[in-house]
Structure 1
């Protein structure tokens, strides 16, 4: 296996740095000039690479707005695997999603939620599809954390995965709508707040179900 100092290791680090600069440049230029006012050549120039090199990393400007989707999902899977085995599944999933968000810069997250005119519908559709694709994978991981003999385990796992990812979609959607209306979200950690709301909903429903069970027994 090549070490960090071998040519192969250096090439990988160079590729990672180029990708980071392309994403950083795109986020900055989109913010300063707008999506339509930024060209692929502009983004490539920021990273000091050729346009041809840009297309080795991304197929289009639109794809830059959905950076590292595969990498994000890999982070989630790794973070979920690191959670305690006896942790409540929804808590584990929310914690894993929060952990996976840490490596990504605020500028990238801002780029994902800024109003972008006609291209916004394309980006939103791709985001929804990306989350839908990952939802099934996440449900499988959640199912593995449930007891083998748990009632409705497949359904429960699908609901937990869907609810957690819906909270992420809700944050993107509301922040984008707020920015379109000129409203800036000045409160910290919107995703953490969204997960807190999700837990509150689950807590109330659990309490109501417990009260109903007590009433039936009475």
Structure 2
């Protein structure tokens, strides 16, 4: 009984610490958003962001590894979004189509929601966002390969290799879109026609079907 009475008081400090951490994380993100909008991404330093949240630079680095990390959810959240989207695809859907559709559902909203939250479609921030997405997608290629393998029939020849090729091709397509969009904006090109990510997956499927009877 005495042990049971101690448990609430023992867990309360941990809960309070977590709430304080979340509050600090929120203040850092909100402060960064204001400063990026006022000064631009390049004109804002980590020290500026920390001061805006009334914390030290050392504290900042306990929460984020760089100011770029403030622009997107961490890689775990990005992958969780992709994983959920893939799990929601029909079981009989072709694996490549399932992965492409899952990535399509997951990729674009991150950049769009970040810029919307900042309130300004700043070009320097958008370039960093796309670069950060490239890094995020690259980081979980092996994990995506495992998920693709689970969708393949048990008797699939070279199932491990097939899963790796499908995951790698789909993620490379996303990276190609992000790099191309960044290059187009840098050269002053105006995007017209279909949205680039769906069009890129169409191209990937066309390549995959080339040579079929």
Q: TM (normalized to structure 1)?
A: 0.69
* 1:43 matched to 2:58: no
State how far apart, in whole Å, the 2-side matches of 1:189 and 1:31 are. Answer: 27
Residue 196 of structure 1, CA deviation: 2.5
State how far apart, in whole Å, the 2-side matches of 1:32 and 1:197 are. Answer: 40
Q: How does 1:131-170 map to 2 (within 5 A)?
A: 131-170=137-176
State how far apart, in whole Å, the 2-side matches of 1:26 and 1:142 are. Answer: 37
State how far apart, in whole Å, the 1-side matches of 2:194 and 2:27 are. Answer: 26
Q: CA 1:161–1:180 in 2, change beyond 3 Å: closer, same or farther?
A: same
Residue 14 of structure 1, CA deviation: 6.9
Residue 182 of structure 1, CA deviation: 2.4
CA contact (8 A) 1:89 1:145 kept: yes
Name structure 2 gaps, 5 residues minimum: 1-11, 116-122
Q: CA 1:183–1:28 in 2, change beyond 3 Å: closer, same or farther?
A: farther
Residue 19 of structure 1, CA deviation: 4.0
Partner residue, 2:91: 85
State how far apart, in whole Å, the 2-side matches of 1:44 and 1:154 are. Answer: 46
Partner residue, 1:214: none
Greater alpha carbon shift after TM alignment, 64-73 vs 149-158: 64-73
Residue 79 of structure 1, CA deviation: 1.8
State how far apart, in whole Å, the 2-side matches of 1:177 and 1:193 are. Answer: 17
Number of aligned positions between the proteins: 195
Partner residue, 2:179: 173
- CA deviation string 1:66-101 (max 9, x = no partner): 641221012112221222221111111112112223
Q: CA 1:134–1:82 in 2, change beyond 3 Å: closer, same or farther?
A: same
Partner residue, 2:205: 199
Secondary structure of 1:185's counterpart equals coil
CA contact (8 A) 2:35 2:49 kept: yes
Q: How does 1:1-218 map to 2 (within 5 A)?
A: 19=25, 22-23=28-29, 26=32, 29-30=35-36, 33-44=39-50, 48-51=53-56, 52-64=58-70, 67-101=73-107, 104-106=110-112, 108=114, 113-114=126-127, 130-185=136-191, 189-202=195-208, 204-205=209-210, 208-209=211-212, 211=213
Greater alpha carbon shift after TM alignment, 98-107 vs 70-79: 98-107
Q: CA 1:166–1:27 in 2, change beyond 3 Å: closer, same or farther?
A: farther
Residue 138 of structure 1, CA deviation: 0.6
State how far apart, in whole Å, the 2-side matches of 1:101 and 1:77 are. Answer: 12
